[in-house]
């Protein structure tokens, strides 16, 4: 399963490609990758291997299974079918499969999984960069000229409209259907892969300097792609990672050379952003580009007005009227039962994230990127359109569940910190 996991993260960002000619009609490439991953997993393993992950994630799994059932009942009542809830059920299965692969890899039950997962960030960032290059060439887009106009005018809309929205067209989606907003999940997949790689490197440190530098380069490339995406939700989630690392260092009263280097690199990046003008573009994106804020506020107000009128059965479809809040859209789509289950699901995810932050001081270093990985699903619960947990978040939650199951297995928290320090020492000795 090690290669299947790496391939999944390589394909996960490629969400604007539609695969035609399938029995059930055209399907998005990344959804087929999720289905294939789950199929391979259950062909190779019996269901009982999932018990360690289910033991730590059972309330979350049960609540989502119940929500899928309520949503399906509402769809049958309205005659709108069960395609949506069926897809969510498949993604719930993918969540369990990803979590189990990660858990078994961390425990050494499936050798090579964690070692290969160290390259998940490289696989995701490189595949995205290659696919974007092909898309831009195919659509006649000049990225350099687009960036130059964006910086000259300080207008993030130019980059969103002329680069991403144009690049995502022509691969199964027509110009009227493709949305520039698909970039939220595209670049969210890169962030999830970066978190997985960071945990894997802490659990199985590199023994050679070249491999370590390639890994660090993959994280740098991923970070650059995320910043350029101008996706506010992904940028907000990504910013939590260095903040959590610094918080843990301050709580432990232990500032290492690595932390000082990270602050220095961040300062240099900030200076480059200011000098180039890109910092101004980001500022406009967060503070002045309020069209989507206003639109979502209007949709949220409309949803809150509509919920009392559909409290028992929900509405037929939330497409076009989504509040972009998982909890609110669940009330609107599946009535009071669906809303109550969404409250439970949101509480479980947000509660776990807060608990992990509180415990960072006493947790091993590899729990920092695990906690950071949970930031993206938390943010997307309050910003994702359609009122569902998107596929990338299911994968990210599966990664977190796998490492939480590994943590619950009683692994000595000092083991990997000691190993990491030893490897750093060996690499420093080699450089000397």
| Least-confidence region, from 120-124, 182-186, 263-267 | 263-267
Q: Are 203 and 403 in contact (CB under 8 A)?
A: no
Taking residues 278-287, report their average pLDDT.
80
Higher pLDDT: 59 or 332? It is: 59
- C-alpha span between 293 and 383 (Å, rounded): 10
Q: For residue 229, with 0-12 CB atoms within 10 Å meaning exposed, 13-18 middle and 19 or more buried, which class applies? A: buried
pLDDT at 428: 46
pLDDT at 213: 93
Q: How far is CA 5 from the centre of its chain?
A: 15
| Least-confidence region, from 50-64, 271-285, 370-384 | 271-285
253: left (phi over 0), alpha (psi -120 to 50) or beta: left
pLDDT at 422: 42
Q: Which residues contact 355 (CB under 8 A, 6 or more apart)?
A: none
User: Does 51 have pLDDT greater than 90?
Assistant: yes
Higher pLDDT: 373 or 255? It is: 373
Q: Are 164 and 180 in contact (CB under 8 A)?
A: yes
- C-alpha span between 334 and 342 (Å, rounded): 10
For the entire predicted model, the pTM comes to: 0.88
b (16+ CB within 10 A) / e for 110-139: beebbebbbbbbbbbbebbbebbeebbeee
pLDDT at 269: 80
Higher pLDDT: 144 or 12? It is: 12
Higher pLDDT: 426 or 186? It is: 186
Q: Are 301 and 325 in contact (CB under 8 A)?
A: no
pLDDT at 175: 58
Look over the chain and give the mean of its residue pLDDT values, rounded to a whole number: 85
In the 8-state DSSP scheme, what is residue 48?
A: G
Percent of the chain residues topping a pLDDT of 90: 46
Percent of the chain residues topping a pLDDT of 70: 90
Q: Are 241 and 372 in contact (CB under 8 A)?
A: yes
Which value, in Å, is the radius of gyration of the alpha carbons in the chain? 22
Q: Which residues contact 253 (CB under 8 A, 6 or more apart)?
A: none
pLDDT at 276: 77
- Reported confidence tier of residue 347, pLDDT bands at 50, 70, 90: very high
pLDDT at 425: 47
DSSP bridge pairs for 18: 28
pLDDT at 192: 96
| Least-confidence region, from 21-30, 308-317, 323-332 | 308-317
Q: Are 399 and 99 in contact (CB under 8 A)?
A: yes
- Reported confidence tier of residue 424, pLDDT bands at 50, 70, 90: very low
Higher pLDDT: 409 or 65? It is: 65
Q: For residue 40, with 0-12 CB atoms within 10 Å meaning exposed, 13-18 middle and 19 or more buried, which class applies? A: middle
pLDDT at 106: 94
Taking residues 323-345, report their average pLDDT.
89
Q: Are 120 and 189 in contact (CB under 8 A)?
A: no
User: Does 14 have pLDDT greater than 90?
Assistant: yes
| Least-confidence region, from 55-59, 97-101, 257-261, 366-370 | 257-261
Taking residues 159-183, report their average pLDDT.
71
User: Does 411 have pLDDT greater than 70?
Assistant: no
Higher pLDDT: 312 or 97? It is: 97
pLDDT at 417: 44
- C-alpha span between 47 and 62 (Å, rounded): 16
């Amino acid at each position: 399963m090690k290669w299947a996991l790496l391939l999944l993260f390589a394909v996960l960002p490629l969400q604007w490609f539609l695969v035609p000619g399938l029995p059930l009609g055209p399907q998005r490439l990344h959804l087929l990758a999720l289905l294939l991953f789950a199929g391979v997993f259950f062909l190779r393993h019996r269901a009982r291997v999932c018990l360690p992950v289910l033991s730590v994630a059972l309330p979350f799994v049960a609540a989502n299974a119940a929500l899928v059932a309520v949503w399906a009942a509402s769809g049958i009542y309205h005659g709108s079918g069960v395609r949506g809830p069926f897809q969510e059920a498949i993604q719930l299965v993918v969540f369990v499969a990803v979590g189990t692969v990660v858990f078994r890899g961390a425990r050494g039950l499936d050798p090579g999984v964690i070692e290969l997962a160290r390259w998940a960030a490289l696989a995701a960032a490189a595949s995205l960069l290659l696919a974007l290059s092909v898309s831009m060439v195919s659509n006649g887009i000049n990225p350099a000229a687009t960036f130059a106009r964006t910086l000259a005018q300080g207008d993030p809309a130019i980059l969103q409209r002329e680069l991403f929205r144009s690049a995502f067209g022509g691969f199964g989606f027509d110009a009227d259907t493709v949305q520039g907003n698909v970039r939220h999940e595209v670049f969210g997949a890169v962030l999830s892969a970066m978190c997985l790689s960071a945990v894997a490197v802490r659990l199985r440190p590199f023994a050679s300097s070249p491999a370590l530098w390639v890994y660090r380069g993959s994280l740098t490339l991923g970070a650059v792609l995320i910043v350029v995406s101008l996706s506010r939700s992904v940028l907000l989630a990504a910013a939590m990672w260095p903040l959590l690392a610094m918080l843990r260092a301050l709580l432990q009263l232990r500032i290492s050379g690595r932390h000082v280097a990270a602050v220095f690199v961040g300062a240099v990046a900030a200076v480059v952003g200011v000098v180039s003008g890109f910092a101004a573009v980001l500022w406009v994106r967060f503070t002045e580009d309020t069209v989507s804020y206003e639109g979502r506020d209007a949709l949220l107000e409309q949803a809150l007005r509509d919920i009392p009128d559909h409290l028992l059965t929900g509405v037929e479809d939330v497409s076009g009227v989504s509040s972009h809040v998982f909890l609110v859209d669940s009330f609107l789509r599946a009535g009071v039962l669906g809303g109550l289950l969404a409250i439970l699901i949101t509480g479980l995810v947000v509660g776990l994230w807060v608990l992990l932050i509180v415990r960072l001081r006493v947790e091993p270093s590899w729990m920092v990127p695990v906690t950071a990985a949970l930031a993206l699903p938390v943010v997307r619960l309050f910003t994702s359109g359609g009122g569902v947990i998107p596929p990338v978040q299911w994968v990210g939650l599966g990664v977190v569940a796998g490492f939480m199951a590994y943590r619950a297995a009683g692994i000595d928290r000092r083991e990997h910190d000691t190993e990491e320090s030893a490897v750093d020492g060996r690499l420093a000795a080699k450089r000397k």
